[in-house]
Chain A
């Protein structure tokens, strides 16, 4: 008897979560849901946590301005753990259980690659703040994948133009062995060839982020005798590269970098900071301009007590793009939102936001930066802008 009773209790307890998770019909919805998939744990955890602030700021502002379609906006926040599988799993959860029709995210290219075919199948547009990989535009279903960041090749174009303008003739590259690093390298080299650059690509190193020791790689670069080195790294691996480059004696030639090397994190180690200050002639990152950008920077700092870091602005724009598209579509429907996104044109924190038919930004601006000494900061160094250049397709 007790056994039977236990069985019944067990069966009922299994049913409870199922009922709780059952999708609620659209009729009961009191809010407009915008999915928000960011990696707030794992490798990009600290970055993702800050980016989430950008999303929340946008949602609060949208709600303060009266919401969308007369309803308040609700962010469905999920953590992709900086893992492609985990991120894709959370997307399925948002679509199938929460009934979300538009998602701001994913952050990483890996999760995006998995999610794009699914987005097409389920008719749920994705708006990534930071997946810059070029292959995403070649994926079946890419018309469902929008991004408020600029693609790697846009940054590659700007970098290649700097190399050509400054008259360097022997380029060495040391880049991450992933779509980001290799895509950027390919874009730079392709652009240099297209503009008739007379120089030579003397060394190409694709390194592993996990190795943590790059003396051999850097020695190879030194032996190839370049006059400029382009580096595409993240923060922790970048520190080791710059510190060991100083040891190896690569500090008497020009170095260039990209958005991955931007941020105060790279100054945590004194040799790395010293090296960057000494050698970095130009590096790039996407920036916004205009009144919305100023408003965003002030509002973010006021609310969270620190200046926004990389991709906080693109996430802010992604949530605004989702809200604007729902409003323009006039209905909470995936396909209508997708069509509205392609026709969208508004001023965001990263400048004017317009997408082409496959969801890529058609224009944007890059800041050219370097590293300068600054005694007011904790590390004694900071990133400083040289100029802002506009890019368009």
Chain B
């Protein structure tokens, strides 16, 4: 948790300093103009009244796959930056650690269980999040799984599950939350692609899903741009997370050897941390990042 806060300080000199300073208990609702929202009133008659923008509230972020790994680090980081965070994972029980960590650090968080591969579950989760918090300003689609297998022996279920969770989950959540963001006239959607989208043996399903997410990001950015909503994706390189640990265990390969190889193949000579990915997410969510959209940002320590 402390490292997250320290990372936040790195941005304090920038124009977004007010977002990384000590978090107040309540802050003015982020004004549309501040978020680089839709510039004209006629585009969005719902939230343009002075009463609406004067409501005291903090920005609200929803992070899927936030029970662990990059999702958990992202949820904690956004909370440290002053956002109320809806912590979503497949089952609600998996969200308790992240929610507790955020609350212990003085932040506001709420846990929700949602299998993002199920359309009705996503609709219900977004509805209950909006009901509890009143609005949604940031969506981070971290929920992701791998089920590696060579193409020749991959089962239909392994293909479908990886596509339905990674790509289907990102699309569903983006549509459901995007609906509210368009009405608000502002919003930030951050998807998770992967460097695996460049191709990886044993991951035809994962590479397809993660590549498709980058393509979906471009399309949605074009569609949502006029409504003040930006859509970007982040493609992490090798980050030590539970997902990677499970992978090495399943493949029966030595984890330390894999980590060392990954470290040596990056320009910076080490693997990444979830907090470093979270820091880039935080940057993208800022009001002053409104001119950045449709992009996939590779955070992989450079390539050798």
- The judgment on whether A and B are partners is no
B residues apposed to A, CB below 8 Å: none
